[in-house]
Amino acid sequence: MQLSIDDLPMFFGPEHHALAARLRELAPAIARVERVAGAEAARDAAAVAALAEAGLFAHVAPLGGQVDARALCLCREMLGYVSPRADSIFAVQGLGVHPLLLAGSEAQRAQVPAFAAGARIAAFALTEPEAGSDVAAIATSARADGQGYVLDGEKLFISNLGVAGVATVFAQVRGETSPGGRTLTAFWVPLDAPGITVTAQTAIAPHPIGALTLRGVRVPSEARVGQVGDGFSLALRTLDAFRVSVGAAAVGMARRAMDEALCHVTSRVQFGKPLAEQPLVAAHLADCAVDLDAARLLVLRAAHAKDAGAGRSATSAVSIAKLGATEAAQRIIDRAVQLFGGRGVMAGAVVETLYRAIRPLRIYEGTSEIQRTIIGRALVAGPLPDLASLRGEGGVAPPSDGSG
Ligand SMILES: Cc1cc2nc3c(=O)[nH]c(=O)nc-3n(C[C@H](O)[C@H](O)[C@H](O)COP(=O)(O)OP(=O)(O)OC[C@H]3O[C@@H](n4cnc5c(N)ncnc54)[C@H](O)[C@@H]3O)c2cc1C
């Protein structure tokens, strides 16, 4: 199994090569998750067990607090290739725990090793029926009542519900204010608390997901993560830490589709020769290769910049990577389905599963439109290109007789 580190080693350090070797060893065990018989829940549980056994959750819940973006990308590239289900459980574990790493109390941070080991699973509950892309519209409330808070509200499309035992829940605090008047705040909430109802949802992709209803849920003050009003910043910083890895998961899924298509077109004979020898089929493969390389380069540039501590300048590169890689992966997988003909749309075909699995990546952790908005804003906010000297402006007088 090829990983981007193989032909793009310049983006990685020596520790990443050891991780890549380990990921290759682990791939068959993770792939077996999808062959577990029974209901989806059985495969979700098998994915949790396989990831825990492999020790991979330590990459999304690092005890030192700092996520290694390139290691995370390597993991998600492998997981996307063998099991998009395991990939989503893995990544959302990181989203759930990251606010603790950023702002958790000592007692909250002391819980992180259990998540790094995969003994406990977390969720990240931001989205609501009326607050999707517009995070500021969150209506879930946390009423301060002296000893703690009482939470009421609805959360929608929350990944890992069904496998998680706890969630970072974002709510607007009523009855207390931050110095800046901000109220959005994160809470670390056990999902078996009285007043919580979890309702499973079914996505087109293999992906544990559900809705969360909170009715008079009492949590102690110690459940608050950071200060009142820190929630918006914690949510955005968490998404920023993981967004580039969505692109890496897309690369893994796209590469798998392309590999499946390559094997198919070299063996399937039509008009007396393998499909691969038909010029239009070769053109499809070439387009896939160009898209895949572009996606990989965008992802690795952004991950490298994040690890180098590029800060705000990485935000735009990360959005470009997420947008470019997920959109490219969608095109690659669509072409792979086309190359399989009727077999590509039969339920259970690998490319059919990938066709469903890739779709949510263009929506979650900031839709493609939101990434375009971020990129566009950064472009016009930055220094404008200096074209004056090329135009002959800026102090050098043009010839007056028109001879120049
Ligand atoms: C599989 C899956 C897993 C998810 N997991 C989680 C999770 O674990 N935790 C969690 O909190 N959330 C999760 N989400 C929710 C996800 O983050 C939201 O679906 C996403 O932010 C979009 O919100 P929305 O669905 O309400 O769409 P909306 O915000 O209503 O957007 C609908 C459409 O309008 C576009 N749009 C919105 N605003 C603008 C604008 N200003 N300019 C241009 N276009 C715009 C969007 O791009 C989109 O195309 C998940 C979603 C999916 C599909």
How many CB atoms neighbour CB 269 within 10 A? 11
- For ligand 1, the distance from its centroid to the CA atom of residue 364, given in whole angstroms, is 6
The pLDDT value recorded for residue 389 is 87
In a domain, 64, yes or no: yes
| Atom 23 of ligand 1: nearest residue by CA position | 132
- For ligand 1, the distance from its centroid to the CA atom of residue 322, given in whole angstroms, is 14
Same domain, 66 and 140: no
In a domain, 391, yes or no: no
Question: Which CATH number covers residue 355?
Answer: 1.20.140.10
Question: Which CATH number covers residue 84?
Answer: 1.10.540.10
| Atom 11 of ligand 1: nearest residue by CA position | 126
Same domain, 188 and 245: no
Q: Check: CB of residue 246 under 8 Å from CB of residue 77.
A: no
Q: What is the dihedral of CA 293, 297, 300, 305, to 10 degrees?
A: -170
Phi, psi of 189 (to 5 degrees): -120, 120
Return the amino acid letter for 274: P
pLDDT tens per residue across all 404 residues of the chain: 999 999 999 999 999 999 999 999 999 999 999 999 999 999 999 999 999 999 999 999 998 889 999 999 999 999 999 999 999 999 999 999 999 999 999 999 999 999 999 999 999 999 999 999 999 999 999 999 988 999 999 999 999 999 999 999 999 999 887 888 899 999 999 999 999 999 999 999 999 999 999 999 999 999 999 999 999 999 999 999 999 999 999 999 999 999 999 999 999 999 999 999 999 999 999 999 999 999 999 999 999 999 998 766 789 999 999 999 999 999 999 999 999 999 999 999 999 999 999 999 999 999 999 999 999 999 999 888 999 988 988 655 555 554 44
Could you tell which of 87, 160, 363, 373 is best to mutate to test the pocket of ligand 1, judged by most ligand atoms within 8 Å of the CB? 363
Same domain, 249 and 297: yes
Beta bridge partners of 169: 125, 187
In a domain, 402, yes or no: no
Q: How many angstroms separate the Cα of 105 from the Cα of each of 31, 60, 215, 222, 350?
A: 37, 19, 26, 8, 44
Domain with 111 in it = 4-116
- For ligand 1, the distance from its centroid to the CA atom of residue 203, given in whole angstroms, is 14
Same domain, 185 and 256: no
Q: Check: CB of residue 101 under 8 Å from CB of residue 65.
A: yes
- For ligand 1, the distance from its centroid to the CA atom of residue 131, given in whole angstroms, is 8
Ligand 1 neighbours (beta carbon < 6 A)? 92, 124-127, 132-133, 157-159, 203, 207, 209, 360, 363-364, 367, 369-370, 373
Of 128, 96, 102, 131, residue with least CA distance to 114:
96
In a domain, 242, yes or no: yes
By DSSP bridging, strand 209-220 and strand 166-174 are unpaired
Q: Which of 214, 229, 244 is the last residue of a domain?
A: 229
Q: What is the length of the chain?
A: 404
| Atom 16 of ligand 1: nearest residue by CA position | 364
* Helices 40-54 and 14-31, packing angle to 10 deg: 150
- For ligand 1, the distance from its centroid to the CA atom of residue 369, given in whole angstroms, is 10
| Atom 45 of ligand 1: nearest residue by CA position | 369
Q: What is the dihedral of CA 379, 381, 385, 391, to 10 degrees?
A: 110
Could you tell which of 367, 372, 374, 377 is best to mutate to test the pocket of ligand 1, judged by most ligand atoms within 8 Å of the CB? 367
In a domain, 399, yes or no: no
Q: Tell me how many domains the chain contains.
A: 3
Same domain, 377 and 238: yes
Same domain, 240 and 194: no
- For ligand 1, the distance from its centroid to the CA atom of residue 346, given in whole angstroms, is 29
Same domain, 254 and 373: yes
- For ligand 1, the distance from its centroid to the CA atom of residue 243, given in whole angstroms, is 14
Same domain, 221 and 284: no
Of the candidates 128, 154, 352, 365, the residue annotated as catalytic is 365
The pLDDT value recorded for residue 402 is 46
In a domain, 79, yes or no: yes
In a domain, 211, yes or no: yes
Q: Check: CB of residue 51 under 8 Å from CB of residue 116.
A: no
365 is catalytic: yes
User: pTM, whole model, 2 decimals?
Assistant: 0.95
- Quick one: which atom of ligand 1 is closest to the CA of 127? 11
Q: Tens digit of pLDDT for each residue in 264-284?
A: 999 999 999 999 999 999 999
Same domain, 330 and 366: yes
Q: Which of 186, 202, 229 is the last residue of a domain?
A: 229
- Quick one: which atom of ligand 1 is closest to the CA of 368? 47
The 3-state secondary structure of the chain, one letter per residue: CCCHHHHCHHHCCHHHHHHHHHHHHHHHHHHHHHHCCCCHHHHHHHHHHHHHHHCHHHHCCCCCCCCCHHHHHHHHHHHHHHCHHHHHHHHHHHHHHHHHHHHCCHHHHCCHHHHHCCCCCEEEECCECCECCCHHHCCCEEEECCCEEEEEEEEEEEECCCCCCEEEEEEEEECCCCCCCCCEEEEEEECCCCCEEEEEECCCCCCCEEEEEEEEEEEEHHHEECCCCCHHHHHHHHHHHHHHHHHHHHHHHHHHHHHHHHHHHHHCEECCEEHHHCHHHHHHHHHHHHHHHHHHHHHHHHHHHHHCCCCHHHHHHHHHHHHHHHHHHHHHHHHHHHHHHHHHHCCCCHHHHHHHHHHHHHCCCCCHHHHHHHHHHHHHHCCCCCCCCCCCCCCCCCCCCCCC
Count Cα neighbours of 224 within 13 Å in the Cβ-side half-sphere.
23
Tokens of 323: 């947008």
In a domain, 105, yes or no: yes
Q: Which of 88, 116, 144 is the last residue of a domain?
A: 116
- Quick one: which atom of ligand 1 is closest to the CA of 155? 11
The pLDDT value recorded for residue 311 is 65
Question: Which CATH number covers residue 167?
Answer: 2.40.110.10
Same domain, 359 and 241: yes
Same domain, 51 and 72: yes
Same domain, 49 and 188: no
| Atom 1 of ligand 1: nearest residue by CA position | 360
